[in-house]
Amino acid sequence: MTALDMSVRIGSLVMPNPLMAASGCFGYGLEYEDVVDLSTLGGVVSKGLFLAERQGHKPERIAETPAGMLNAIGLQGIGVHRFISEKLPLLRARRARTIVNICGTTLDEYVEVARILSDAEGVDALEINISCPNIKEGGIQFGCSLDGTFGVVSAIRKVTSLPIIPKLTPNVTSPASFARAAEDAGADAISLVNTFLAMAIDVEQRKPKLSNVVGGLSGPAIRPIAVRMVWECRQEVKIPIVGMGGIMDHRDVLEFMIAGANAVQVGTANFVDPFIWRKLLDGLTDYMQRHQITRLADIVGALDTTSPAKAHA
């Protein structure tokens, strides 16, 4: 039978399949090399990196909620220089396609981090984190303003030829307008959604479950909202979309792709099952065979809205 093609292209980044490990959910990738061959993933998105090392928030940093979890890690990270010297060579040796998630407290810091990574060997793309809900300084102030989004993306565009993928927040009324701003500023793709700003309270103690009081909600609880946002963005922009939000199995991958995502990221599910990647690939293969699809890209945005699906009990 014909070989199945799951490949995805985002500028110069060519991935063999659409499955990417989401930033903040996979360490620097190397933590998982004993349980998954990193080269078999579409891509590995690193933890968010600033110029300097960051310690992050005090524990408690996560709290489970119905079909989801809150996190407020606070972007603990080793900084871009240590990443380049300590992690990047190992990721290259393992043939991982490495997408570095970059952060900044100022526009200048984003640009500097992007420039430094552009000069490093082995970076395949940059994901621009303008959507972390958990830190006061930087990120979200760019991601919640159309001008801020356009400004940071166009400034980074000027200093790098790497594919750039702004990661959008869902904590705005219209993510699609931010997708448009990112595309206009020269983004090669967009990724969405980051987590939903949320909180949880221990009623006996009358205290927040997180030290940061508020945190970002992820997991299957957010998936229907994320799918809707991807679908809205698909109608607004031509560039590839990397969809994410509560993907737990291959059907969820397909849901995002049919809504308009070219690739997906898996985050929280990797915590629950670090062996999920093989299962996702097997599930996609099975789907392609059952539906006689040879190019998985053909289902991107293939949603038929002429009538709803037949409901099953």
Partner 1 sequence: MTRTTPSGFCRHDILSPVPPVDVRATVISNVRLSRDYNVLTIAAPEVGALTEPGQFVMLKTTDASDPMLRRPFSVFEVLRDDLGTVRAISILNKRAGRTTGLLYGLEAGDPVWCLGPLGLPFNPPSSGEAWMVAGGVGLAPFATLAEALVALQVPTTLFYGARTADELYYLEFFDRLGVKLVLTTEDGGAGVKGRVTGPLEESLKGLGGPNLVTVYACGPEPMLAAVARLAERYGQPSEVSMERTMGCGLGGCYSCVVPVKHADGQTRYVRSCIGGPVFDGATVVWE
Residues in contact with partner 1 by the rule CB under 8 A: 24-27, 31-32, 34-35, 47, 55-56, 59-64, 66-69, 71, 73, 76, 219-220, 248, 268, 270-275
Q: Tokens representing 170?
A: 């869902």
Assess whether 132 carries a catalytic annotation. yes
Q: List the Cα angle 228/47/218 in 5-degree steps.
A: 35
Q: How far is the CB of 24 from partner 1 (least distance, A)?
A: 7
Q: Which of 44, 19, 17, 16 is nearest to 29 (CA)?
A: 44
Closer to partner 1 at the Cβ: 36 or 261?
36
Contact partners, residue 93, CB within 8 Å, separation at least 6? none
Closer to partner 1 at the Cβ: 112 or 249?
249
Q: How far is the CB of 187 from partner 1 (least distance, A)?
A: 27
Closer to partner 1 at the Cβ: 14 or 67?
67
Closer to partner 1 at the Cβ: 72 or 113?
72
Closer to partner 1 at the Cβ: 22 or 300?
22
Closer to partner 1 at the Cβ: 30 or 239?
30
Q: How far is the CB of 72 from partner 1 (least distance, A)?
A: 9
Q: How far is the CB of 274 from partner 1 (least distance, A)?
A: 6
Q: Which of 25, 103, 132, 233 is catalytic?
A: 132
Query: What CA–CA distance (Å, rounded) separates 207 from 112?
Result: 39
Q: Tokens representing 232?
A: 């809205």
Q: How far is the CB of 270 from partner 1 (least distance, A)?
A: 6
Q: How far is the CB of 301 from partner 1 (least distance, A)?
A: 27
Write out the catalytic residue numbers: 132
